Amino acid sequence: MRCNVLLVCGTLVLTSCAVGPNYKRPDVPAPAQFRAGEAQPSQTSFGDAKWFDIFQDERLRELINEALQANYDIRIAAQRVLDAEGQLAATRSQFYPQLGAQANAGRNGVKSPLQSTAGIFGVASWEIDLFGRIRRASEAARADLLALQENQKAVRQVLVAEVASAYFNLREFDAELEYVQQSITARQESVKLVKARLEGGVANQVELDQATTLVHSAQAEAAQLERGREQTENLINFLLGKQPGTVARGASLVDQRQPPDVPAGLPSALLERRPDVREAEQQLIAANARVGVAKAAFYPSINLTALGGYQSTDLLGVVSRSGFAYGLGGVLDVPIFDAGRRSGNYKSAKAQYEEVLVNYQRAINGAFRDVSDTLIGYQKTKEYAGSALLLAETLRDQSTLANARYVGGVTSYLEVLDTERQRLNAEQELAQAQRDVLASLVQLYKALGGGWQ
């Protein structure tokens, strides 16, 4: 008899419908190509590459590996995934009968004879998911888990980009500081030259003051660069989950290898590659399932309970009865009036779904914009770096010529002063431009969904 009841209930669960809307991916059209991308985009995308193929500096690879193991945000994201796994397991447990045990003992009676009772029972309870409330709740919990797994990938993606960008900033500080230190040495030699010319009567005190000013300005610049370099080292160590300290270097800024081309690929493939877009869709799936949970609350629910065990009664020790006792029961919960609680929850669930839908649409269009921005940024930054290199080379020649003209007595020290300032500024701008090219490459890789594989 009991087997037949379970069979009927199981059949009801399998054949019953889950109320509420089934999820369907919203139609968000993708452009035929990225703005500033290839006229005929290829299937291959720069974002498909593994991060360790993009960054060839061995020391940078080591830093990224360390960060992926010990970074605080990475560890927090991992615990959030474990939390969601537990929530999903707890939700899915409602599909199955809940088993427990009860024990009781008592003695009661207003008049004689008093009665004593004792018993121990096994208890089983089961909610028949007739209208899919548990299935929708499980669907939402699973989507929550998948969303957090995509978030974990996004955290890894951001971390790879942050470590790489910070490392390139560090190498840029190193390059600038090297230029400034070389300039300080050259300017100190210039001061010695001007002093000798002053003693020989072919220079004046103003020229000596100008030469000394160049040394002091370069020394002040070096102090600023040293501050930025040390703070960047501290940032890198923080990203690695470590205390502040020095950071070992690899290749110099100009020796960093870059890929020969960076194809953007098909815009439609971006939606499957970027973890933030995938996370937004899983959040939409969860919100859609919760609409079904709220709608299922309008329908009746059926709960079955079964109890069986041993019970004993003793009437003052004169008469006693003991043996197996059992009970079967069911509860049909039919909603009639709740002062708008269920309606309010349903309205809230639908509004939350619409909010998450807008967020999903924004994430997609934001991804397209992100790629277009970084594509044009990378292209124009490379052009600027090429111009900065030509300018630096020209000013190096001018500085050498100005010093030669001053030594030969053809011009005043003012020309040396002006060209030297321009040369150092150009060297620093060149280092910054070379850093910006690498940084924009990192941002393009991230925008295309790379960095988390």
CA distance 162 to 61: 13
Which pLDDT band, with edges at 50, 70 and 90, does 127 fall under? confident
More reliable by pLDDT, 152 or 117:
152
450 touches 54 (CB < 8 A): yes
For residue 405, count CB atoms less than 10 angstroms from its CB and return exposed for 0-12, middle for 13-18, buried for 19 or more: middle
Would the pLDDT of 433 be above 80? Answer: yes
Q: Is it the case that residue 318 has pLDDT exceeding 50?
A: no
pLDDT value of position 168:
96
Burial of 420 (0-12, 13-18, 19+ CB in 10 A): buried
CA distances from 233 to 220, 237, 238, 270, 303 (A): 20, 6, 9, 34, 62
Q: What pLDDT is attached to residue 79?
A: 95
Predicted TM-score (pTM) of the model is 0.85
- Higher confidence at residue 362 or residue 311? 362
Taking only the tens place, the pLDDT of each residue in 221-265 is: 999 999 999 999 999 999 999 999 999 999 999 899 888 888 888
The fraction of the chain above a pLDDT of 90, given in percent, is 57
pLDDT of amino acid 3:
44
List domains and CATH numbers for the chain.
20-97+140-299+341-447 (1.20.1600.10)
Q: pLDDT value at position 234?
A: 97
Determine the average pLDDT of the residues in 327-345: 87
* Helix ranges, 110-204 (H): 133-199
Beta bridge partners of 118: 105, 312
* Res 315: pLDDT: 44
What is the rounded distance in angstroms from the CA atom of residue 370 to the CA atom of residue 390?
30
Computed over every residue of the chain, the mean pLDDT equals 88
The pLDDT of residue 118:
80
Rg (CA), the chain: 37
* 48 pLDDT above the threshold of 80: yes
What is the arithmetic mean of pLDDT over 191-206? Answer: 88
Is residue 52 scored above 60 in pLDDT? yes
Choose the weakest-confidence range: 68-82, 84-98, 118-132, 278-292: 118-132
Note the pLDDT tens digit of each residue in 29-47: 888 888 887 777 888 888 8
Helix (H) / strand (E) element for 2: namely helix 2-15
pLDDT, position 16: 56
Spatial strand order in the sheet of 301-315: 98-108, 115-128, 301-315, 319-333
Reported as a pLDDT band with limits 50, 70 and 90, residue 111 is: low
Instruction: Determine the residue type at 440.
Output: S
For residue range 167-198, list pLDDT tens digits in order. 999 999 999 999 999 999 988 988 998 899 88
pLDDT for res 61: 94
